[in-house]
Amino acid sequence: MIFRLVLACILLTLISPYVQAADVFVAPNGSDSNPGTKSQPFATLARARDEIRSRIVQHSNRNYTVAFRGGKYRLNQTVVFDLRDSASAGHSITYEAYRDEKPVFTSAIPVTRWVREGKLWTAPVPSGLKTFRTLYDAQGRLPRSRGPGFLPTQDYQAADKLDRFTLPYPPGAVRNWSNIDDIELMIRPNFGWMLDILPFESVDEANHLARTSVPASYAMVKVRYAPSRITTNGTAWIENAVDYLDAPGEWTVDSHQGKIYLLPRSGEKPEGIESPTVTELIRVEGQINYDGPKDEPVRGLVFRGLSFTGGDRFSWERNRVGYTLQHDWEMFDRPTALVRLRGAEGIRFEKCRMVDSGGAGLRMDLHCQSNRVSSCEFGHLGGTGILLAGYGPGTKDVNRHNTIERNHIHDIGELIWHASGIACFQSSENLISHNLLHDLPYTAIVVSGRISWNREGKGDGWGTIRWKEIEALNRPELLPSPGHRPTWKEREPFLHGRNNLIEQNEIHDVMHKLWDGDGIYVSGTGGGNRVRENFIHDCLSENMCEGIRCDDDQEETIIERNVILRSGGVGTGIAIKGVNHILNNFVIDPIGAYRPRGIISLEFGPLPGTRIQRNILYSSDPALKPFYFKNLFAKPDPEIKETETDFNLYYHQTNSAWAAQHLADAHAVGRELHSAVGDPLFRDAAKRDYRFRSHSPAAKLGIEPIDLRKVGVR
């Protein structure tokens, strides 16, 4: 009996997800003057960090554990872990929840002294704060006041006549509010893939012209390409003006008066209202030698079972032009997330939560290698879920070998609509696998190195290019000049987003807000990226473009063994621009609800050597063609004869002749000679079983079945 009890205790210790014993304890009701024991814990993360620092000096070659009791820990400044906090080689320093308790770190502080003023309640801005961009109650982030939608009064043909600070607006849409610098413009400028949030500098009500204090991503004109409902509802609106505070839960802040206005959700006196004090709660930061060849990273920290919440939205900066990530989707090397790694190796986040905040969840900047984010939740964030962003193009390639796996990412980009669930910029050889992403305003997973290769200050990310490193190679063909842009192949060694593996992720219900986005998007990176065995389904928004897309300036990507089921918008399952390979994918029942194209779309040529083989294209939409050939840059269209296309299976539920013209055209140029038409006879597609029944024509073509049972966070 005693043996059984001992054995049970041992097993319980082994399988318990969180710490049973620790070197240091922390509790919300503790004191930093305590010794940090279980009975007399510290009160703050910073004090625990400092205690571990002092112990490392005495005994470095061992593991350390800090245990946090459940409750709320308020941070009014970023807690920084630097080189003094590194674990020694082969060891780790763990900061984790005690047993199954729930420690929560937040920058939010209570807002008190509420007074009723008519239908509104007001309170002074908490001491030490001037302004903030988010506000919270017990249910999460509260919405700011929002004015009616409107359209700029000039269309895209006037884009070259306007600088990016000027907004021509219809009468009455914008006013010269007394606290104009608190008011923000939300606008989709010219193109459908961005939502800018811009503070005002001035308003000329007589001439209906406003100036913003930071530039928009594009000229502030009507959106050039988008579904009609976007322009019908207006592409711009005003936030944080007290005039528009008219819905339960809405709020505004007036920094000139030092006053918060709120219309409570309940209509009763506000309780539990909190305002954020910082954007970034935790930063792990090594020694960054930005212009040099080598950085020194922090190593060996583990964060487990912790929650991070209540951070503010980081404001766009006027001088960041040229230092942004593709299309201004994020800022390069800036503190926009709840948690940030900047010069870090072997850092792990396990079973953590990053929720209810104004910016991104977690970002890994510059030198970040062999870090792991696993079994975490990212939800109800204003910005991106997880961001990896290495150095700009050059020879310093040190953001790599990171793992993002088994995370649940949902309801992000709630403020910054163009934010992605997972974004990987100029970062190589990472594993992004078994994640579940859903209910997103834009693209689920982005892998990009998209850079405008110039020195003239035009386009995406030009300011991040490391010209000294490139010039040192003494290869003049790599340098841009009038009329000359190096080819993708010449630039590829400096495009660090190569050899990433994006596999076995489940994606559904994305593209709710913006247009021209996808389930998985790859653009402007190096070669060797593989998008494999992902399940992308039920993305039925008319905004949806492709399930998987290789966009501009992209070559040598392998798209294989993915299942794309019920994709809306243009109805395209897979699109490529450039020489990429589409192998053994199943695109099933796409729905071309808006400008239908084709199930496979070839949009940039020439495409010599592109392999499109052993795919199943299964449709019930009469408007969708099997293939769509269109060069979107007014050059000759790509042609199937340039590709190695064969052994594909085509099936339409109601039209047996659906693929006939495509196959006839392909046969005429010696392609698709072994492809066939017929029902693939899936065993049970309704239950995600895409194996084949006997006598399936797919098996005869060498098409391999796809097992979705291990996809996602299962």
Beta-bridge partner residues of 197:
186
Rounded-to-integer distance, Cα 664 and Cα 232, Å: 42
At 137, the pLDDT band (50, 70, 90 cuts) reads very high
pLDDT digits (tens, 9 = 90+) for 242-255: 999 999 999 999 99
149-167 per-position pLDDT tens digit: 999 999 888 888 899 999 9
- Do 552 and 604 touch, CB atoms closer than 8 A? yes
**pLDDT single digits (tens) 612-631:** 999 999 998 888 999 999 88
Query: 501 is written with which tokens?
Result: 């593996």
Pairwise CA distance, residues 143 & 50, whole Å = 38
Q: Which two tokens stand for residue 4?
A: 């059984």
Q: What three-state secondary structure class fits 407?
A: coil
β-pairing verdict for 506-508 and 436-438 = parallel
Q: For residue 531, which of 553, 491, 563 has the smallest C-alpha distance?
A: 563
Give Cα 19 distance to the centre of its chain. 32
Per-residue pLDDT, 710: 87
Q: What is the pLDDT of residue 8?
A: 47
Q: Indicate if the pLDDT at residue 1 is higher than 60.
A: no
- What share of the chain in percent tops pLDDT 90? 84
Confidence category of residue 300, pLDDT binned at 50, 70, 90: very high
Q: What is the pLDDT of residues 498-518, one digit of tens each?
A: 999 999 999 999 999 998 999
User: What residues contact residue 7 under an 8 Å CB cut-off, 6+ apart?
Assistant: none
Average pLDDT, the chain: 93
Rounded CA gap, 275 and 626, in Å? Answer: 53
Predicted local confidence at residue 596, as pLDDT: 84
Q: Calculate what percentage of the chain has a pLDDT beyond 70.
A: 96
Per-residue model confidence as pLDDT tens digits over 5-26: 444 444 444 444 454 589 999 9
Which helix (H) or strand (E) segment holds residue 231: the answer is helix 228-232
Q: Where is 54: in which H helix or E strand? A: helix 45-58
Taken in order 260, 265, 270, 273, the sign of the CA dihedral is negative
Measure CA 417 to chain center.
10
- Per-residue pLDDT at 9: 47
**pLDDT at residue number 12:** 42
Residue-level pLDDT at 228: 63
In Å, how far from its chain's centre is CA 216?
A: 20
More confident residue, 593 or 187: 187
The mean pLDDT value for 93-114 works out to 97
CB atoms within 10 A of CB 291: 9
Q: Are 549 and 646 in contact (CB under 8 A)?
A: no
pLDDT(3) > 50: no
pTM for the full model?
0.95
CA dist list (Å): 117 to 244, 251, 405, 601: 16, 14, 50, 58
Q: What is the mean pLDDT of residues 168-195?
A: 95
Least confident among 138-142, 451-455, 658-662: 451-455
AA identity, residue 114: W
What confidence score (pLDDT) does residue 233 get? Answer: 80
* Per-position DSSP letters for 369-392, written without gaps between them: ES-EEES-EEEEESS-SEEEE---
Q: Burial of 360 by CB count in 10 Å (0-12 exposed, 13-18 middle, 19+ buried)?
A: buried
By the 8 A CB rule, do 350 and 302 touch? Answer: yes
pLDDT in tens, 26-84: 999 999 999 999 999 999 999 999 999 999 999 999 999 999 999 999 999 999 999 99
| Residue scoring higher pLDDT (459 or 348) | 348
**Per-residue exposure over 45-82, b if at least 16 CB sit within 10 Å of its own CB, e if not:** bbbbbebbeeebeeeeeeebbbbbbeeebbbeebbbbe
Whole-number pLDDT of residue 594 = 80
Token pair listed for 197: 């949030």
Highest-pLDDT range among 438-442, 472-476, 567-571, 588-592: 438-442
**Which whole number is the average pLDDT over 673-692?**
93
pLDDT for res 529: 98
